[in-house]
Structures are given as structure tokens and as C-alpha cells.
A and B are shown apart, each in its own frame.
Chain A
Amino acid sequence: MRTGDSLPEWHVEATPTFVISTAIATRDFQDVHHDRDLAIKRGSKDIFINILTTTGLVQRYVTDWAGPEALVRQVNIRLGAPCYAYDTLKFFGQVVERDEQDLTIEVVGRTGHGDHVTGIVKIEVPA
């Protein structure tokens, strides 16, 4: 795990079941995350993933790669294009800084509409 190392690309199929089950498991009951008729009425093209899930996916992407011993210290994300039902969300990542046990990883999650999420995750790994 060194500066410049890339994380393996990871794809998440955002099926309606995925969008809805993650919204409910994160206790987010906003209708745009589970009711397609209302989501469309409010100007969206479909239901879409909620922020708490995006945060969770970013964390999982990094810990899947870094291993269970890594401790997550920060998840800083900027939100872009919504990730709608039936989108494929593709994650890319790279280590941009390492200072002894502290790593900073840059992460992008992208759909066909553009960048859904960009950000950094800070982790601490065993010495």
C-alpha cells in the first residue's frame, strides 16, 4: 500500500431492490429513494441512491481493498450526478498520500451520467 497504488475497479449494480433496501437499512424514508412514481413527479428520472448509502459504499470499497485491520478515520465526499435505479456505479481509487500508518485514498464513483461521488477516505493501517 503505497502512494500511487490503484484500487481494483468495483462495479455496483444499482437495481431497484438495492436502492430501496439500502435506503431502508440506513433509515432514510424519503420517498425519492423508494417510490418511483413520486420520484418522477418530483423531476427525477427514477428512484436514486441516498447519501448514507453512497458513504457506506465508499467505505466498503476502501476497506475491501485495505483489509479488516484498517481503521476508517474520515470519509469526505462530494456528490454529483444521482445514481438511479438500473445504473451501474463504477468505483475507482488510488492512494494519493501515505504518512507512515496514515493513508489518504482518492475515490470516484461514476455512472453513465457522470461522476456520482468523488472524495477522499483517510484510513489508518497497522504498523
Chain B
Amino acid sequence: MTDKTAIEKEAARIAEQGESAPRLARDPVNLPMINNWLEVIGDRHPGYTEVAPPAMVQVWTMGGLHGQRAPDDPLGAMMKILDEAGFTSVVATNSDQTYHRYLRIGEHVSVTSSLEDVTGPKKTALGEGWFVTTRSTWYVGDEAVAEMRFRVLKFRPAEKQETKPEPQKAQAIRPSINRDTEYFWEGCRNQELRIQRCGGCGLLRHPPGPMCPECGATKPKYLVSDGRGVVYSYVVHHHPQVPGKQTPFVIALVELDEGVRMLGELDGEPSIGLPVEVVFTKVDDELTMPSWRPRADR
């Protein structure tokens, strides 16, 4: 018998048992516990003096510090089976609560629970695992007052890779180089950070363009920057993945001492105003990328 068949058979057996015996809350719905909850959640709702916040429903029947699962608790039974099959970790994925009515102070709730669904094995980002769905119903006497569908993923942790695969530098997105920008990339290959400078009025500008926005001259020259500046703004990029890069990475807009602002990756903890200097990283014979690092003399 395969693991899958065995697990499904056990799941069917537990599901057939139906609802567990009702488990009574330690305390009736009461104001001190409501007030503690309101205080920590910071909820100033004025209505919770005679009824409890609906989202507290599960609080009333929590097992407490030394809680033990009842022998007929279906989630506990299913967890044990999956533990034994090697699916040792657990993470909750869904909680769907329906409140039929608000609970009044003094009411004493009990809860029952049944196994609704067990599906797997599924490949997930965390590892291979089974989704286990239970349904809990809260009662006051015979009246069902609230319900919850609760789903967990019980999984076998994926082998942790000690090191993330090193991104292939050669896969990095390449700049499109044209006649307007050639001088900049040539500078990088020579460890020079070049800033475009108008051949007419001398205005410094970046990013490069064919014509001076100030005087209209079309004969740009360049100046070699000292490569020093401060972070003017930045973003931390988490998602999506970028070819040749390992996320997260920082892209900083740096205001150079010469006055223009330039984008580039920052290798370090970013902050506005952080003094930085340029570093050149050779990707291949054609391409060298400028980036920023915090200055040692700051």
C-alpha cells in the first residue's frame, strides 16, 4: 500500500467519525477577557459591553497553557498520521469564520470539530505536503452560533539549500548602447564615471541625450566624475526575479557631488543621505556596470 493510499484511508476513517464530542470553554463569555482583547487589539468599538467581538469566538475554547487535544479531535488524529508519514511541519493557510450571531456575556460555548477534507500530496513552495481542512462549530446549548473552516498544510520541509544558486552575471540585463550613450559605457570599461556635458553652454546632464535642454546644442562632451555622492532616494527590489540578480537588491538614485543624479545598484544598507562612491564591476569584455557602495570616510 502506498503512503498516499494509506493516508487517504486513514483520512476517510477519521472523517466518518463525524463531529467530536463537544468541548466546553473554560469560562463563560466574560467582560474581563473581552476587555483584555480590546485593549491589546486596540479596538475602541463601544458595543462590546454586553456582547463579545465575533472574532473572539475561538478564544473562548482555546486549550490554554497546558491544553491537550481530546482523543477524538480529528485535526490531532490527522496530524499524527501525517507526522508518521514524514510530513512533520505545519502551517495554517486558511481560516474562514462565520458568525450566526453575537455571543452575550454569560453564555457558555462549547465546540465540536470534524474532518472535512484531506488533499495531497501537493508540491508547494515549502515542500511536499497535504492540505487538511477541518470544520469547527461553536454551540450555546444546542444552538450553533459560529462556524469555522480551518485549513493547514502539513508538509515535509524542502531540503534547505545552504547557498542560493549564484546568479549568472552573464545573464544580466544589458543596457542598449547607442551613439548618445556609448561614451558612458566606454568610461565604465575604463573605470571612469562620465557625466555628459554640453559642448555649448557646459551644462552637466544625466541620463545622456543628443541635445542640451538648456541651449539646444548637439555637440555633447563629458566630464569625469569623482564618483562620489549621497543617496537621494532608493527602492528595495524584492519581486519579480531579475535575470542575473539575487533579490532583494537596492537601486539607489545618487546625487553626485557634481550635481546630477544617477541610478545604480547599492551594495549596502540604504538610507537617504548616505555618502556613497562608485564601484565598477566587469561583467564581460564588453560591459562594465557602475554601482554604489557606502563610503568608508563618511
Interface residues of A in 44-73 (CB under 8 A from B): 51-53, 55-60, 63-64, 68, 71-73
A55: contacting residue among B46, B97, B239, CB under 8 A: B97
CA–CA, A68 to B97, complex, Å?
20
If A75-B55, A75-B97, A79-B93 touch, whether A63 touches B62 (CB-CB below 8 Å) is no
Given A27-B59, A29-B64, A68-B45, CB of A55 within 8 Å of CB of B95: yes
Say whether, besides A55-B95, A74-B98, A25 and B40 are in contact (CB < 8 Å).
yes
Nearest B-chain residue to A17, judged by Cβ:
B40
B93 to chain A, nearest CB (A): 6
Closest chain B CB from A112 CB (angstroms): 8
Residues of A contacting B64 with CB < 8 Å?
27, 29
A29/B65 in contact, CB under 8 A: yes
Closest chain A residue to B36, Cβ basis: A25
In the bound complex, residues from chain B placing their C-beta under 8 Å from that of A78 are 93-94
A21 an interface residue at 8 Å Cβ cutoff?
Answer: yes
Answer yes or no: A35 CB below 8 A from chain B CBs: no
Whole-angstrom CA separation of A56 from B55 in the bound complex: 5
Q: Does A125 have its Cβ within 8 Å of any Cβ on chain B?
A: no
A76 at the interface (CB under 8 A from B): yes
Cα distance A22–B43 in the bound complex, in angstroms: 12
Task: Classify chain B: how many residues form its interface, as a range.
Answer: 20 to 34
**Beta-carbon contact of B62 and A27 below 8 Å:** yes
Shortest Cβ distance from residue B232 to the other chain A in the assembled complex, whole angstroms: 22
Q: Flag if B96 contacts A56 (CB, 8 Å).
A: no
A87 within 8 A of B: no
Asked, given contacts A27-B59, A59-B54, whether A73 binds B40 with beta carbons under 8 Å apart, the answer is no
* Distance in Å: Cβ of B292 to nearest Cβ of chain A: 22
A64 to B53, CA, bound (A): 13
Q: Does B37 contact A (CB under 8 A)?
A: yes
| Interchain CB contact under 8 A, B98 and A60 | no
The answer on a CB contact under 8 Å between A76 and B58 is no
Interface centre among A21, A56, A76 (most CB of B within 10 A): A56
Q: In the complex, are the beta carbons of B53 and A56 less than 8 A apart?
A: yes
Q: Taking beta carbons and an 8 Å cutoff, which residues of B are in contact with A?
A: 33, 36-37, 39-43, 45-47, 53-56, 58-59, 62-65, 67, 91-99, 102, 238-239
- Listed by A's residue number, 18 A-B pairs whose Cβ atoms lie within 8 Å are A21-B40, A22-B41, A25-B37, A26-B58, A27-B63, A27-B64, A51-B92, A52-B58, A55-B95, A57-B41, A59-B54, A63-B43, A63-B45, A74-B97, A75-B55, A75-B95, A75-B96, A76-B96
